[in-house]
């Protein structure tokens, strides 16, 4: 299982409601790719952390519906995070294998995907 962060406004994944930017969830590579195909805006946690959201920003503007009130700096970060999602989604739709997609978007700083348990 790997940890991913939500970068959308609202999605249901089975009984789980994703409703705030930065919400963390864990899935297998295959589950993740299936969710990406279903247009659920999730990105690897390492990519999310690289965008640089602060805890204060996520508390104030992370919940769906609050983003229309956010400052430009938060919008720019959210735009970068959503671009990561769009780039990954394009590769998933093309049929790139899950392990290739996830290894190529992993955090360059440590060269590893996030596999922490929370």
- Please state the rounded mean pLDDT for residues 109-116: 40
Task: Say if CB 37 and CB 63 are below 8 A apart.
Answer: no
pLDDT of residue 45: 96
pLDDT of residue 101: 59
Domain map (residue ranges) of the chain? 2-104
pTM: 0.81
Q: What is the b/e burial string over 16-51, where b = at least 16 CB atoms within 10 angstroms of the residue's CB? A: eebbbbbbebbbebebbbebbeeebbbbbbbbbebb
Q: List the structure tokens of 100.
A: 């290739």
pLDDT tens digits, one per residue of 42-87: 999 999 999 999 999 999 999 987 888 899 999 999 999 999 999 9
Task: Say if CB 26 and CB 4 are below 8 A apart.
Answer: yes
Comparing 108 with 25, which gets the higher pLDDT?
25
């Amino acid at each position: 299982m790997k940890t991913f962060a939500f970068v959308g406004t609202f999605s249901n994944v089975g009984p789980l409601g994703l409703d705030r930017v930065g919400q963390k969830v864990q899935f297998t590579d295959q589950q993740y790719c299936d969710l990406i195909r279903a247009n659920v805006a999730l990105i690897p946690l390492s990519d999310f952390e690289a965008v640089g959201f602060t805890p204060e920003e996520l508390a104030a503007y992370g919940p769906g519906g609050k983003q229309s009130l956010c400052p430009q700096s938060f919008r720019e970060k959210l735009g970068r995070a959503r671009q990561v999602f769009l780039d990954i989604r394009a590769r998933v739709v093309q049929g790139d294998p899950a392990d290739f997609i996830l290894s190529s978007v992993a955090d360059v700083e440590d060269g590893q995907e996030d596999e922490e348990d929370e």
